[in-house]
Structure formats: C-alpha cells, structure tokens
Amino acid sequence: VSFNRRDFLKLTAASSAVVAVPARGRAGEAAVPDQGYGILVDTVACVGCRKCEWACNDVSGFPKKDLKDYDDLSVLEKPRRPTATANTVVNRFVDPANPGAGATWSAKVQCMHCLRPACVSACIVGALKREPSGAVVYDAGKCMGCRYCMVACPFQVPTYEYDNAFTPKVQKCSLCHERMAQGGQAPACVSICPREALTYGPRAELVDLAWARIHQTPGRYVEHVYGEHEVGGTAYLYLTPVPAQHAGLPVLGTRPLPEHTEPLQHAIFAGFLPPLALFGVLSMAMRSFKADDDDDREADS
C-alpha cells in the first residue's frame, strides 16, 4: 500500500478534526475527559530520530544533554528499556515475516499510564497515584523505596536510582503532568516530534483517531490499537504495522492487574505478614495473570 505525502496531509487534517486542540486552550477548563488524556504513538510515522528522547531528558530533571548527543542512531540496533536517567527510549523493529526486506519501524517506550495501574495498587504508602488527567504520577516525598511498583508493573517500566546513595527515587514518565497542569502544554516529546508520530489528546478521541487511521489506510497497520484494552486500557496507545509484540510491546490480557493482586495484598496486610511476602505475591500474581489471559485468548480464538 503506498502512502504518499498528500495522503499523509489529508489524513493529518482528518486527524485534527477528531483530536481538536489537544492541550492548548484546555487549561483552566474544569471538565477532564472521563478517561483523561493520552498519547497515540504511530510507529509507522516514527522515523526513529530520538528527538523525543532529548525532549524528555530536558523536562525530566536529568543532567542536561545537547540534542546532538542523540544523533547516534546505532543505539537503535539493540532493544532498550527506560533507565533511571531516560524516561523514554526509542527502539527499531522489523517485520518478523520478512526480516531481510529492509523495512524498519520505530517505537518509543515509556510508562503506559494504565487506567487501572498496578503500580498504584502495589504502592502501600500512596507514592503513586493516577490523576484525573490520566497521568500516573510519583511523589518521591512519600516513597519508602520498597520498589513493589517495579515488581507489579506489567510493562516493567519503573526504574530506580541505585547510583543515588542518599536520596534514591523511582523514575518513570510523568505524562508531562506538570506541563499540562501549569499551562495546558502538550508533553515535550509530542511537541518536538517532527513527524507527528505522537498525538496528544483526550484518550477516547485518540482511540477513535487510531481506528480512523486503520480504516482509512488499509494494510498500513494491523487491526489492533494496542492499549485500548490491554490491562484494562492505557493512556499511551500504539498503532503498529505488525503484531504489537514484534514492536516490543508485551502480549497482555484485558483484565486490570489490580483485580488479581488486591485481594491477595489485603490478605497479607490483614495477617501482618512481612513485606517481603508482597514481593512473592506480586511476582506470582503476574505469572498467573499472564497464564490466565493466555488461556482466555486461546478460548476466544
């Protein structure tokens, strides 16, 4: 399927109609959409330039870097994960059915901002919470460093500042919550993306936009909006040209993880069992969660 610049512009115009004025102009509005805001990642439009990595570094309070420090695209050759000094990283992927054809796409990875976040559920001191805006935010002042959130996250996102001996913190993407709150600005990664591979807006409208792109450009994407239903839904959504697991996105079921873990956690707290038990419970729950959902998918297919 060919997709030229004119098609792209037409589609972008259609997209704008769906996601009207994503952030600007919404500051001060009392109403927040039911599902909050989110970001749609179009992995076909992404060219893997890593500018979003730089913009994220710039707003995340990490040691400052120059944009040219991100010119090295050789790092895309191996899959990477967010680190304690990089809340988002871009990975390159190929068509597994035709790896020698030379076609590549790129996808940035970061916290998915789950609608029912397992990290929030696992944090026993309330250091993580989901804001009405859709952002899952971290409060270092409340964190006791137990790292249950790292065990609970089905996307293996939160990282920990092991090199910081005195004030170590958990790190993860904030959905640029403070930018949103202060001035209704779009997240930094969205603002800088030169290919409009990232779209910010009310999550429900992004789901509609994603399906509109799928239907308007048959063959360009698989018919699946990743994050629409995974683990109960996520604020970050992905369009991919091949099944999402080949773009580095884990195969997960639709049930929110807290539905699996919370009854066990409550039992542990009621019995005053040592906190270490929670690590075991969360790990076991994750394994059974994946197994259950694999069974569900097989039953559905």
Could you list the residues that contact ligand SF4 (CB under 6 A)?
Answer: 46-52, 55-56, 59-60, 87-88, 90, 106, 108, 110-114, 117-119, 136, 153, 155, 157-158, 172-176, 187-189, 192-193, 195, 197-198
Q: Work out whether the CA dihedral 51, 55, 56, 61 comes out positive or negative.
A: positive
- Least distance CB 266 / ligand SF4 (angstroms): 19
Please give the Cα distance from 70 to 51 (Å, whole number): 7
The one-letter amino acid code at 157 reads V
Q: Which is nearer to ligand SF4, 197 or 207 (CB)?
A: 197
Q: Which is nearer to ligand SF4, 128 or 270 (CB)?
A: 128
- Least distance CB 99 / ligand SF4 (angstroms): 21
**Contact predicate 254/229, CB 8 Å:** yes
- Least distance CB 301 / ligand SF4 (angstroms): 26
Element counts in the chain: helices (H) and strands (E): 9, 9
**Contact predicate 247/225, CB 8 Å:** no
Nearest C-alpha neighbor of 213 from the set 4, 15, 9, 3: 15
- Least distance CB 27 / ligand SF4 (angstroms): 17
Please give the Cα distance from 210 to 224 (Å, whole number): 9
- Least distance CB 54 / ligand SF4 (angstroms): 9
Q: Which is nearer to ligand SF4, 117 or 202 (CB)?
A: 117
Q: Which is nearer to ligand SF4, 178 or 273 (CB)?
A: 178
